[in-house]
Chain A
């Protein structure tokens, strides 16, 4: 596959690894923000290949993991209503709420359907005028324009039996929280390449100046991340707190203006609680008043249930890079993909799930 395979070339990868090791004069603490980047780094063993030169701290860029518990509970409540068709991305169906997940709700009779795109959900509404189609609009800024478009199109076409349950989060406020923490070890960031394809990287230039740390915007394939890490290590060696772009084939400094336009027409910034971390100011998106009637939480008048996370789950610490998944007492024991205690074990890009799936050879219990 063009523009994919060549970015997975092993020889080129090894060369970049060598270059990084040659350049780093001491171990560098780097956070990669995006869960998709975490997934690649662990899947290809890049974290292992760089150990000693780069210590990777996995960031909170997993919208599935940070979706607040009550959003999941509200989703479950809405999905169980009669006549509702609950459409969702596959990532969300096994995230545990207070009482089971969407897959269990489906087994109990809820009409839960996995879709690839928000426009598929809208198409379901057009196809079934007698049903209420609700779409679980989860994601970072990357997904917000697509979700916004589904509402924008519903509005233009006058489709009334469609609504969205919004759980959108923004990356820059989360970076502030991490950097505001006096115990933070992070010395540099790999910024999320697809979020920046939409938003551009001006916000990260501001963060670099404010917190005096370098940022490099990187893509998701092994060569992207390796080149991004090399660029970041070089900046750190030169003690330069600036922002650079590795993912130039997709990211422009001001991002995608058409996408931002529709996003801003449909959504506005609001405060948001991140599962495991807590409330972060201005870190979420909600529907503007003009589109409020497409808000599923309002339409279905769903009560929020304040519930407690299992005490053993340290998702918050993992998402902020304070602990690694295998440092959690429940990891691999009470908490596994089959029986997750928290979201990072379920989401394919949650750090816990990535560690579990691609766990290092030496950790495996032989002969049990």
Chain B
């Protein structure tokens, strides 16, 4: 099917201040580049806001901004991240993603062909989930005042009936499930940053998790107490957040947490602890003890969850503290990360 790149028909090959001006140049960008890529009835209205039908139950609502540099990396790009990230936040609420808003802040000089690549990524990600971008915005800032491209996506979704997800539901005895090997995204990004380059291409794990979450909710409904994707700060930080929000203690079994060999090599080389490295397509689930085995089976049956595993449990002791059961048999406190984890030589 002819889905041609319309950039050559533009008068410019880079983003200019005129593109953000609101005049003809802006309209050409929207009508000839953005709308055709993301096409749907609401977007075609090109009105200030979108009005959509809502016949579903509870509405889930989430927003996130994406500033990653470099914008293109092994395993994806900022556009893909912008869709997956917000879809996953909705999924963590037990909600099927329905509509997205999409806002760009572009730096003067950003290549239009790069913008096109990103828009195509967004289009493909949305199509795969039957998700529509129904409204958006484009602004341009002067050269030097942005980092190429920033994206904000806000998503609304319909919470599945039977989903009742909240940290307050986490209870002692709950089992902790992890959806796959960790630290891939963070290491992938570091490995392409100047000064740290690896020769090997380690791919980001960015992926839209809704289909996996849906399968889990359909099987176990209310017995899934809480979900959280382990983005910035890694698994360790997320578990701390949940322990605090739920007012419970969490125990994590160090040897149960999967880390792929190359990621482990990258972490060793840079002196990083995988438990604190960012993920984009992994989440933890707090599940009622008697449903845990079944939920784990459902996860493993799904293509997105083949490497899921049981990694810990919730306890009544040491409320709000995460304890790591080390492979040596002892245990230590697994604290929240302080600041940003940096590569080290010592």
Determine if B24 is an interface residue (Cβ-Cβ < 8 Å): no
A35 to B318, CA, bound (A): 30
Interface string of A321-351 (1 = CB under 8 A from B): 0000000000000001110000000011100
A116 to B271, CA, bound (A): 10
The answer to whether B330 touches A49, judged by C-beta atoms less than 8 angstroms apart, is yes
Q: Which among A1, A87, A348, A364 is the interface contact of B264 at CB below 8 angstroms?
A: A1
A215 to B259, CA, bound (A): 37
List CB contacts (< 8 Å) of B153-202 with chain A. 194-196
A222 to B327, CA, bound (A): 12
The answer to whether A10 touches B329, judged by C-beta atoms less than 8 angstroms apart, is yes
Determine if A288 is an interface residue (Cβ-Cβ < 8 Å): no
- B339 surroundings in chain A (CB, below 8 A): 94, 337-338
Say yes or no: A13-B328 contact (C-beta < 8 A), given A115-B196, A337-B339: yes
A356 to B331, CA, bound (A): 14
Number of inter-chain CB pairs below 8 Å: 105
The answer to whether B346 touches A349, judged by C-beta atoms less than 8 angstroms apart, is yes
The answer to whether A337 touches B327, judged by C-beta atoms less than 8 angstroms apart, is no
A114 to chain B, nearest CB (A): 6
- A222 surroundings in chain B (CB, below 8 A): 328
B254 to chain A, nearest CB (A): 10
List CB contacts (< 8 Å) of A87-112 with chain B. 87, 89-91, 93-94
- B321 surroundings in chain A (CB, below 8 A): 364, 366
Determine if A63 is an interface residue (Cβ-Cβ < 8 Å): yes
**Chain B CB within 10 Å, residue with most, of A63, A116, A361:** A116
The answer to whether B261 touches A1, judged by C-beta atoms less than 8 angstroms apart, is yes
The answer to whether A1 touches B328, judged by C-beta atoms less than 8 angstroms apart, is no
The closest CB in chain A to the CB of B261 belongs to: A1
The closest CB in chain B to the CB of A339 belongs to: B338
The answer to whether A91 touches B326, judged by C-beta atoms less than 8 angstroms apart, is no
Q: Which among A124, A359, A367 is the interface contact of B319 at CB below 8 angstroms?
A: A367
Q: Which among B196, B270, B331, B342 is the interface contact of A93 at CB below 8 angstroms?
A: B342
The answer to whether B342 touches A90, judged by C-beta atoms less than 8 angstroms apart, is yes
Determine if B13 is an interface residue (Cβ-Cβ < 8 Å): no
A55 to B118, CA, bound (A): 58
The answer to whether B344 touches A361, judged by C-beta atoms less than 8 angstroms apart, is no
A113 to B195, CA, bound (A): 8
A343 to chain B, nearest CB (A): 11
- A336 surroundings in chain B (CB, below 8 A): 338
- A366 surroundings in chain B (CB, below 8 A): 318-321
A231 to B91, CA, bound (A): 55
Q: Which among A14, A91, A367 is the interface contact of B320 at CB below 8 angstroms?
A: A367
The answer to whether A116 touches B326, judged by C-beta atoms less than 8 angstroms apart, is no
**Chain A CB within 10 Å, residue with most, of B264, B333, B335:** B333
Say yes or no: A361-B194 contact (C-beta < 8 A), given A91-B342, A91-B345, A139-B345: no
The answer to whether B346 touches A87, judged by C-beta atoms less than 8 angstroms apart, is no
A11 to B194, CA, bound (A): 41
The answer to whether A357 touches B335, judged by C-beta atoms less than 8 angstroms apart, is yes
- B271 surroundings in chain A (CB, below 8 A): 90, 348
Which residues of B does A touch, CB under 8 Å?
Answer: 194-196, 261, 264-265, 268-271, 318-321, 323, 326-333, 335, 338-339, 342-346
User: 5 tightest CB-CB pairs across the interface, nearest first?
Assistant: A90-B342, A45-B330, A115-B195, A337-B338, A90-B343
Using A14-B328, A359-B333 as known contacts, list a sample of 8 further A-B pairs with CB atoms less than 8 Å apart, ordered by residue number in A.
Answer: A8-B327, A44-B328, A124-B194, A222-B328, A347-B346, A359-B335, A361-B318, A364-B318
